[in-house]
Chains A and B, each alone.
Chain A
Amino acid sequence: MAKVRVLVAKPGLDGHDRGAKVVARALRDAGFEVIYTGLRQTPEQIAEAALQEDVNVVAMSILSGAHPHLFPKVVNLLREKGMNDVLIIGGGVIPETDIPALKEAGIAEVFTPGTPTGDIVEFIKANVK
């Protein structure tokens, strides 16, 4: 089987990328191909990068509180581009109460602070198409 390709992305304006970078590196060490977008990506840029890079997984991180707005926007754009099989996950400072709505919008799983990177690796392995 081909290597799983993951786009680690920072939508929105927040510059807190410690988590995104640690996750990116852990996923790489777990054997995935990882592309990191860098900061301040618009949903359009993320969807476009996902398409260009032909990824299996989009992993987004937001710590500013803009997740209710930005996560679903990325999901919709990916669908519009026909990327229906892409596994979309999110993480960051995200209150428990926001998670059901994000899942409803198409985020497969939300990983909150304190999650071991191994859990993310396992989740991707179990759910990637």
Chain B
Amino acid sequence: MSNEKIQAGLDKYNASVEKATSKFPERPNLPEQRLYTPLDIKDTDYADEIGFPGMYPYTRGVQPTMYRGRFWTMRMYAGFSTAAESNKRYRYLIESGATGLSCAFDLPTQIGYDSDDPISEGEVGKVGVAIDSLADMEVLFDQIDLGKVSTSMTINAPASVLLSMYIAVAEKQGVPADQLKGTIQNDILKEYAARGTYIFPPRPSMRLITNIFEYCSKNVPKWNTISISGYHIREAGSTASQEIAFTIADGIAYCEAAIKAGLHIDDFAGRLSFFWNAHNNVLEEVAKFRASRRVWAKVMKERFHAEKPKSMMLRVHTQTAGSMLTAQQPNNNIIRVALQTAAAVMGGTQSLHTNSRDEALALPTEESVMIALRTQQIVAYESGLADVIDPLAGSYYVEALTNKIEKEAWEYIKKIDEIGGAVAAIEKGYIQKEIQDSAYKWQMDVESGAKTIVGVNKFQIEEEPPKGLLKVDASVGVAQCKRLADMKAKRDNDAVKSALADLKKACQDENENLMPHILNAVRTYATLGEICGVMREVFGEYEAHVNL
């Protein structure tokens, strides 16, 4: 059918719609256009813009056969209380068919404080597992073969320390570092912009990150050295376009820092990975995943002149949107997560965490986690969504939306370039303000009823308080502090002292890679708080400024 003929048909349709809308006004908050036709993608060049899976610009996916060979990694984020308790949950997940581990650390660990630090009071073991030293890490991975499992660690400011502990545990198991598979989040820029577990100012933080890139490219070559995360930016309230734009801008900043430190793009870019949110609007999310791959491929090829295909592939881990779960009628969350899972799978994710129904209320129980994992398995094995590659390609709407999100992302990236890059845009508060404004608009839309959240502002019922929530007892903190004191009494404190002194010297010399020094300190059972304390002394701490 020629475009003229389609246009004529569309004109006729539009005339008929006018009559219909006068009788049945449309709902608020809908996409501007109600119907998409071939005319909406007539300027999209299939070969250049859409292409084939495993080929530039990777719109249709990064692997040639996607899920026809192997499903995505079903990776459940878990960790709470003590290392022993979390080790039990990990082994339960592996027995239930999870194919990768994902460690959640408590807040003191994420911010580089030991469990016995006064600032840690009330937080030990709450949102994740408490890790004070190599001794805890040994218990965390007890009877788990680090040569076989792939492990993702949600750790940022002290990522170098936790990765060192992981390497040291592997050494004890007899697994060499070059066999280790996994990911550290290690994405400090989004901590300043959205997630909040920063320690040091941007400059030394960027140094730590490039030190890790360099060390791993030589010593831990299968490790994903960063997971550049849009997830938390979206959770903080951004739109889909902002999520990928701000994250890719962060990615550009990391590449520039590494290149400035003397690395070659193709030596580290293949180990960069991303982390997306799977939000409620299924088709918008699918378009977002597709657009993000296309933007990143172009950035790597055109801006950084990468040559290896692997450098141009945006490989992504996904988590369903925690902020979209409701405390009201929590079983409804199972359905939300199922739809979000469908979006992530049709979007072509490489791994996925599915949230549990009770997460707007507390940490999930074992039963809730099982339902969340089963949701992935049902989508994988029963739904058919994983049977054909990029099944929504060619949908007039999804292709047009992919183009639109890509265009909006480029506009933001251009704007951030003009400000001076992601670091400057964060220091000026630009990215934070954009996210806050979107979050506020979302909330006002919910409150005005322009946006409906089932069970929250429509279809509410009287409910009994939910029963059987998981609770981390305050005694966990006490026990962990005792464990820490016992460990300190047993270790060789002279070795610790000398390792920390050596680390301090290395911190003061900008040309020194800190990784070997940190690894050395970790092996002596120096604690996370002691190691980060040395770095705090030399690097100082970041202070945020908030403009409401």
Contacts and interface: CB of A to CB of B under 8 A. Distances in A.
A70 interface: yes
B328 A114 contact: yes
Chain A: number of interface residues, binned into ranges: 35 or more
Contacts of B323: 18
Contact of B439 (A22, A93, A96): A22
Contacts of B443: 22, 26, 117
Interface stretch (B120-128, B138-146, B170-178, B529-537): B120-128
A114 B548 contact: no
B394 to A, nearest CB: 36
Contact of A69 (B122, B127, B236): B122
B474 A65 contact: no
Given A25-B548, A26-B443, A64-B107, A42 B119 contact: yes
A95 B464 CA distance: 12
B440 A112 contact: no
Contacts of A113: 326-327, 360
Contacts of B195: 15
Nearest to B362: A95
Contacts of A22: 237, 439-440, 443
A95 B359 CA distance: 11
B544 interface: yes
Secondary structure of the A contact surface, majority rule: loop
Contacts of B447: 116-118
Contacts of A93: 327, 360-362
B107 A69 contact: no
A99 B474 CA distance: 17
B548 A15 contact: no
Contacts of B121: 69
A17 interface: yes
A5 to B, nearest CB: 15
Given A65-B362, A114-B326, A118-B447, A12 B469 contact: no
Contacts of A112: 327
Contacts of A13: 107-108, 110-111, 113, 119-120, 123, 197
A18 B236 CA distance: 5
Secondary structure of the B contact surface, majority rule: loop
A43 to B, nearest CB: 9
A66 B122 contact: yes
Interface in A64-115: 64-66, 68-70, 93, 95-97, 112-114
Contacts of B362: 65, 93, 95
Contacts of B116: none
Interface in B397-453: 436, 439-440, 443, 446-447, 453
Which of A13, A70, A117 has the most C-beta atoms of chain B within 10 angstroms of its own C-beta?
A13
Interface in B307-344: 323, 326-328
B391 interface: no
Contacts of A28: 548
Nearest to A15: B196
B133 to A, nearest CB: 19
Interface in B95-137: 107-108, 110-111, 113, 119-123, 126-127
A12 B436 contact: no
A18 B439 contact: yes
B548 A34 contact: yes
B126 A66 contact: yes
Contact of A36 (B108, B113, B126, B546): B546
Contacts of B113: 13
Nearest to B477: A69
A68 to B, nearest CB: 7
A47 interface: no
A129 B546 CA distance: 28
B196 A64 contact: no
B253 interface: no
A34 B327 CA distance: 27
B74 interface: no
A24 B122 contact: no
Contact of A65 (B119, B126, B196, B327): B126
Contacts of B457: 116
A41 to B, nearest CB: 11
A38 interface: yes
Contacts of A36: 546, 548
Nearest to A16: B196
B456 interface: yes
A96 B467 CA distance: 10
Interface in A18-54: 18, 21-22, 24-26, 28, 34, 36, 38-40, 42
A97 B465 contact: yes
Contacts of A24: 548
A27 to B, nearest CB: 10
Contacts of A16: 196, 235
Nearest to A12: B123
A18 B235 contact: yes
A97 B548 CA distance: 32
Given A34-B548, A38-B545, A118-B447, 20 more contacts: A12-B123, A15-B191, A15-B197, A17-B196, A18-B236, A25-B440, A28-B548, A36-B548, A42-B119, A65-B363, A66-B122, A68-B122, A93-B360, A93-B362, A95-B465, A95-B466, A113-B327, A114-B328, A114-B453, A116-B447
6 contacts: A36-B548, A38-B544, A65-B123, A95-B466, A113-B326, A117-B447
8 smallest CB-CB distances across A and B, nearest first, come from A15-B196, A69-B122, A96-B465, A13-B107, A66-B122, A65-B126, A113-B327, A114-B456
